[in-house]
């Protein structure tokens, strides 16, 4: 197990620079504390050579933050090739999510372990997979438990899991099927009293940086953070306050959600709706979170809605 070397400059590699990866990079680069860090981000060569305006803007920001670039394609590279890259760093933070495909989280974790990296923060920025357990309606979650099993079965690499709940924006995303402002309704998953925890990617990035750079360091723990925890009934209430409109409240019961999934068993959104409708492992008390215990301000669901949703 690695010691706590507060005076030694840490080499930190963030894998991926999507919405969350960029937020983590910003959090690390702007963190105010005594820990010295060298920050790098692993990006695909195709991203580095892209002339797309959005990609060019991201690369400009990354360079402006003082972040070095490590070129590698996590999909094409072998475990051994990734391990050779990871071995140059003290901490690896996984910010390549489910979109990278099945098996990616196991692959990255194995590469980290093979490299003997001192500490790993895997892509577990979501629900409490231990509480949900194997065999849930979202079968992709089982791989997250595989990752935890790999990490818990060894003692060479420290790990920290950051449980965040759902991205706040996803709760309001029309395709998710909960908030429908055009139709002026909220459809509760499970019941109006079922709760969900949400956190913005910006807050996740900031808090992850704080957790990673904390002294004394956090070792082999699941750390819970939250921007907000609210029921679907409370969600409807805050939307009415934020928009000044009356909203119909509907409920999609667990049996209905499971029936929906049975009709289209490969539909990822239906898998997610069923998991969140069951309500297990998807919500925790804000008062018990890392940010609440340390007095760190975050964006709640109502603030997010007021800042981003059209009124009227």
Domain count, the chain: 2
- Which of the four pLDDT bands, split at 50, 70 and 90, describes residue 52? confident
- DSSP letter (8 states) at residue 9: P
Where is average pLDDT lowest: 44-53, 156-165, 270-279? 44-53
| 176 & 247 share domain | yes
Bridge-based pairing of strands 195-199 and 228-231 is antiparallel
- Which of the four pLDDT bands, split at 50, 70 and 90, describes residue 1? very low
pLDDT at residue 7, as a whole number: 54
The mean per-residue pLDDT over the stretch 35-39 comes to 88
Angle subtended by helix axes 104-115 and 141-152, to nearest 10: 10
Average pLDDT for the chain: 94
When mean pLDDT is compared over 6-15, 53-62, 202-211, the highest value belongs to 202-211
Chain centroid to CA 281: 15
Handedness of CA 78, 222, 138, 182 (dihedral sign): negative
| 138 & 235 share domain | no
| 300 & 185 share domain | yes
| 51 & 147 share domain | yes
| 94 & 77 share domain | yes
Helix (H) or strand (E) holding 91: strand 91-94
Question: pLDDT tens for residues 4-18?
Answer: 444 568 999 999 999
* CATH number of the CATH domain containing 245: 3.90.25.10
| 185 & 216 share domain | no
Where is average pLDDT lowest: 38-47, 112-121, 152-161, 284-293? 38-47
pLDDT at residue 220, as a whole number: 98
DSSP codes of every residue in 207-256: HHHHHHH-SSPP-SEEEE--SEEEEHHHHHHHHHHHH----EEEEE-HHH
pLDDT at residue 55, as a whole number: 85
| 258 & 271 share domain | yes
pLDDT at residue 2, as a whole number: 46
Instruction: Name the residue with higher pLDDT: 99 or 41.
Output: 41
* CATH number of the CATH domain containing 37: 3.40.50.720
Quote the CA–CA distance of 16 and 69 in Å, as a whole number. Answer: 10
- From the CB of residue 51, how many other CB atoms can be counted at a distance below 10 Å? 6
Q: Is residue 4 part of a domain?
A: no
| 84 & 27 share domain | yes
pLDDT at residue 312, as a whole number: 40
Task: Determine phi and psi for 93, rounding to 5 degrees.
Answer: -115, 115
| 116 & 248 share domain | no
- Which of the four pLDDT bands, split at 50, 70 and 90, describes residue 34? low
| 71 & 117 share domain | yes
* Enclosing domain of residue 286: 168-196+228-308
């Amino acid at each position: 197990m690695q010691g706590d070397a507060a005076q030694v400059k840490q080499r930190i590699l963030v894998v991926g620079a999507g919405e969350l990866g960029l937020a983590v990079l910003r959090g690390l680069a702007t963190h105010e504390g005594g820990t010295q860090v060298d920050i790098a981000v692993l990006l695909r060569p195709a991203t580095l050579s892209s002339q797309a305006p959005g990609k060019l803007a991201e690369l400009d920001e990354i360079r402006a933050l003082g972040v070095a670039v490590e070129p590698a394609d996590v999909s094409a590279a072998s475990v051994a090739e990734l391990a050779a890259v990871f071995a140059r760093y003290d901490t690896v933070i996984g910010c390549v999510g489910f979109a990278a495909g099945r098996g990616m989280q196991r692959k990255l974790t194995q590469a980290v372990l093979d490299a003997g990296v001192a500490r790993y923060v895997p892509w577990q920025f979501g629900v409490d997979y231990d509480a949900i357990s194997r065999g849930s309606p979202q079968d992709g979650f089982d791989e997250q438990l595989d990752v935890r099993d790999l990490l818990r079965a060894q003692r060479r690499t420290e790990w920290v899991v950051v449980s965040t709940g759902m991205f706040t924006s996803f709760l309001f995303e029309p395709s998710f099927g909960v908030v429908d402002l055009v139709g002026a309704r909220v459809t509760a998953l499970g019941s109006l009293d079922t709760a969900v925890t949400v956190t913005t990617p910006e807050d996740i990035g900031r808090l992850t940086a704080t957790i990673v750079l904390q002294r004394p360091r956090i070792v082999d723990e699941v750390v819970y953070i939250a921007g907000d925890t609210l029921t679907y009934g409370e969600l409807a209430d805050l939307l009415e306050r934020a928009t000044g409109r009356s909203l119909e409240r509907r409920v999609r019961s667990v049996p209905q959600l499971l029936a929906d999934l049975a009709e289209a068993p490969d539909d990822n959104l239906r898998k997610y709706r069923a998991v969140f409708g069951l309500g297990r492992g998807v919500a925790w008390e804000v008062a018990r979170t890392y940010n609440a215990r340390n007095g760190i301000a975050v964006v709640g669901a109502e603030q997010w809605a007021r800042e981003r949703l059209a009124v009227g």
